Amino acid sequence: MADLEVKRLEAEEAEEKKPDEAAALTAAAPAAVLKLAAKGSDVLKLFVPEMRAIAHVHFMQAELKGKKAARGTQLQDLIAKHPTILPLATAEAERNAARENPPSNPTQQAD
């Protein structure tokens, strides 16, 4: 009987953590997309949380399973099946980054 109660409590805790985890993945996705582009689309040059963020946000909350190499293969398969998603996500992340960090203008305007 106690085992059932422990399992129920663990399940409740896991459910409570899901929104926090989803928010963290959503927040990490733009930087992960930009890093992937900078690394020449080599998914194995990403950390696992970055792979998870991209899969979660851009591939309908897909969950990657296994060790890093397996997760990389799964993410690469998703990218291959949906080739337009990542370029659009990269462009959006670049636009948002440019808005957040506008370049300084060293030239002065003439009167």
* Domain-located, residue 13: no
The number of domains in the chain is 1
Distance CA 41, CA 83 (A): 12
* Domain-located, residue 5: no
* Domain-located, residue 69: yes
> What local confidence, expressed as pLDDT, does residue 18 receive?
67
Asked whether residue 7 carries a pLDDT value surpassing 80, the answer given is: no
* Domain-located, residue 1: no
Characterize 57-70 residue by residue with b for buried, 16 or more Cβ atoms within 10 angstroms of its Cβ, and e for exposed. bbbeebebeeeeee
> Token pair 């949380």 is at which residue?
49
* Domain-located, residue 102: no
* Domain-located, residue 10: no
Q: What is the pLDDT of residues 58-105, one digit of tens each?
A: 999 999 999 999 999 999 999 999 999 999 999 999 999 888 888 776
pLDDT band at 42 (very low <50, low <70, confident <90, very high): very high
pTM score, two decimals? 0.76
Average pLDDT of the chain to the nearest whole number: 87
* Domain-located, residue 34: yes
* Domain-located, residue 88: yes
pLDDT band at 19 (very low <50, low <70, confident <90, very high): confident
Provide the residue range defining the domain that includes 81. Answer: 19-97
CB contact at 8 A, 88 and 82: no
> Token pair 């926090």 is at which residue?
20
